[in-house]
Amino acid sequence: MKVIDLSMPIDERTPVFPGGPKQVIEQLATIEKTDCNEKRLSFNSHFSTHMDAPAHMLTNGKTLTDYAVDKFVGECIVLDVRGQKEINANLDTVNEGDIVFFFTAHSDKAYDKDYFTTNPVISPKTAQALVDKKIKMVGLDAPTPDNEPYTLHKLFFKNDILIVENIVNLKKLAGKRFMCYVLPLKIHKADGAPCRVIAVL
């Protein structure tokens, strides 16, 4: 068995969506002073590698705690769409109930100034095809599958498809099918939450 971490590390350098509050990682206690180490963490619910719930953009949309945990686990297929500014993907290998990740290689620019302004997006045609396939989750190694007015976000949410953003390390998995665990923090009624994404081959 091989396990690959597809999650962006959380630290002071982790990029923040423009206009969002910067993360704060504060040392509350140290072994030298209190016999233990402890930190206080403060960040947006849509930070680092994270999952968007329908409540993020739909009035009365589902929150993450409205889902059974099996919604966050399933077979995943990674589609190689490098070089496409607007993603038009062949979905022949996608099955109903799949988790679908797009490998764009944009995560290579995660710490660059233009990470949030030059990201590839999913085409409306491909988004509708994913809906028609009845997938459970879509994700990519970029900050968002579409830009304002976020029409595709709303399309996915209305069809109960969760979104995962800022994935990393997809190069190792291009074209492969594997079990994937996308586990958001269990924050009550969350519209989104950072998550640990694990591929198991």
Per-position pLDDT tens, the chain of length 201: 999 999 999 999 999 999 999 999 999 999 999 999 999 999 999 999 999 999 999 999 999 999 999 999 999 999 999 999 999 999 999 999 999 999 999 999 999 999 999 999 999 999 999 999 999 999 999 999 999 999 999 999 999 999 999 999 999 899 999 999 999 999 999 999 999 999 999
CATH no. for residue 89?
3.50.30.50
Look at residue 169 and tell me if it is in a domain. yes
Q: At 193, give phi and psi (nearest 5°).
A: -165, 145
Look at residue 29 and tell me if it is in a domain. no
- In the chain, the number of structural domains is 1
Task: Give the range of the structural domain holding residue 131, as residue numbers without chain letter.
Answer: 3-7+45-200
Look at residue 38 and tell me if it is in a domain. no
Contact 38, 51 (CB under 8 A): no
Q: How far apart are CA 18 and CA 187, in angstroms?
A: 23
Look at residue 86 and tell me if it is in a domain. yes
Look at residue 24 and tell me if it is in a domain. no
Look at residue 64 and tell me if it is in a domain. yes
Strand-pair category, 137-140 with 162-165: parallel
Q: What is this structure's pTM? A: 0.97
Look at residue 80 and tell me if it is in a domain. yes
For 48-63, b/e burial (b = at least 16 CB within 10 A) is bbbbbbbbbbeeebbb
Look at residue 112 and tell me if it is in a domain. yes
